[in-house]
Amino acid sequence: MIQVGIFTGYFPYGLQEVITRIKGHGFTTAQLDLDFRDMDMTTAALDGKAAKKIRDAFRDANLPICCVSGYTNLVHPDPAVRKTNLDRLRRIIALARELGTPYVISETGTFCRDSDWVHDPKNKTEEGYEICRDVIGELVEYSAKHDAVFLVETYVNNVIGSVEETLRLFSDINHPSLGLLMDPTNYFESHNIDAMDHELNKIFNALSGSIRIAHAKDVKRAGADKSEKHAAIDAAESHTYRGVGEIELPAPGQGSLNYDLYLKRLSKHHPNIPIIIEHLDESDVPRAKSFLDGKLRANGC
C-alpha cells in the first residue's frame, strides 16, 4: 500500500515536538525539511553530527524519513545568490544518506529576479535550458559521489515545467542518480486544466518509470485573483506558496485534481511509494489526511 506522509516544515517546533505531532496524526513517513526551532540549521551547521541526531530521532520514533527537501532556485540570475543556493543544496546531498535516505528534492528554478515562482521568458529559451541542464548534470554527478539521488520536481513556471521538458532533461542526463518527484498539479496551466484526465494520463504514460516519491496537493483555477499567493503560516516560503496567475494550488481535496485517477496511475507501478501531503496549515492536517486516506482506501491503494 502507498505510505502517507507529510513535510516536517508544516510543524514549527523543535525536533522531538515535530515528530510527536506527525506521529499523533498517524503518518508513517515524512519528507524532511531542515528547519527545527531548537537546532541550528544554517548551512555551516549542517554536519554529520546534526544529521545523525535527526535521523536517530526519527528512527527511534519509527517514523522513516523518505526524502529531504533541498528546494532552491538552481538558476537564480544573480551569480552570488545562485552559488549560495547550490552550496547549501550540495551540503544536503552530501548528508542525505546520514539523514536516512538517498533522495534530495528541488524544483529547477526560474530566471526571474523577483520571485522563485514566477515565469521568466529566459526559462523557455535554449540558453536557459542549457544552463539549467548543466547545473542539474553537476548535481547528479555530485549525488552519485555521495550515493544519493537528486529528484527533480517539475513546475510549470520553472525552466523544466512540462512533460516534454522533463523527458528532454532525463534523456540528456541519463543517470541512475537522477529521479523524478511526481506532483501532477505542477503540470497544469489554463490551457490544459480542463483536460484533467487526458493530462494525467499523458504525465504517467511518459514519466512513470522515473518516479521515486509523490506529493499530494490540489489545483484549480485562481479566479479573479491573479497575484502570487502565499498562506499566512510560520513556514519556509516553499510551504507558504499557493500559486500565481491563472492557477491556484490549495491543499488536497480543495481543488479539481482527479485524485481517483492520480492514485490509480501512481499505484500501478509504484504500489508502496510514499505520498507526501503539502500546501496546508497545521489545523487542516486532519482533514487533508482523512481525504487522502479515503481516496487510497476507495481505490485499493
Model pLDDT for residues 11-34, shown as the tens digit of each residue: 999 999 999 999 999 999 999 999
pLDDT confidence of residue 236? 93
pLDDT category at 229 given cuts 50, 70, 90 is very high
Q: Mean pLDDT throughout 208-225? A: 96
Give CA 288 to chain center in angstroms: 17
| pLDDT at position 218 | 98
Q: Label residue 39 by pLDDT band (50, 70, 90).
A: very high
Average of per-residue pLDDT values in the chain: 97
Sequence-ordered alpha helix ranges (H) in 42-125: 48-60, 79-99
Dist. CA 41–CA 91, nearest whole Å: 11
Q: Which domains does the chain have, with CATH numbers?
A: 3-220+253-298 (3.20.20.150)
Percent of the chain surpassing pLDDT 70: 100
Q: Are strands 229-230 and 241-244 parallel, antiparallel or unpaired?
A: antiparallel
Residue 153, classed as helix, strand or coil, is strand
Asked if 30 contacts 7 with a C-beta cutoff of 8 angstroms, the reply is yes
Question: Containing H/E element for 296?
Answer: helix 285-298
Minimum mean pLDDT range among 74-78, 215-219, 225-229, 292-296: 225-229
Angstrom distance (rounded) from CA 31 to CA 99? 11
- Check residue 102 and give its pLDDT: 98
> What number is the average pLDDT over the span 248-277?
98
**Predicted confidence band at 228 (pLDDT cuts at 50, 70, 90)?**
very high
CB within 8 Å of 49: residues ≥ 6 apart: none
In 3D space, the residue among 158, 119, 114 whose CA is nearest the CA of residue 136 turns out to be 158
What is the per-residue pLDDT across 125-184, written as a single tens digit (0 to 9) for each? Answer: 999 999 999 999 999 999 999 999 999 999 999 999 999 999 999 999 999 999 999 999
120 in Cβ contact with 110 (< 8 Å): yes
Three cell numbers written together for 257: 485534481
CB 27 within 8 A of CB 289: yes
**What local confidence, expressed as pLDDT, does residue 172 receive?**
98
Comparing C-alpha atoms, which of 117, 67, 93, 9 is closest to residue 275? Answer: 67
5, 28 Cβ separation under 8 angstroms: yes
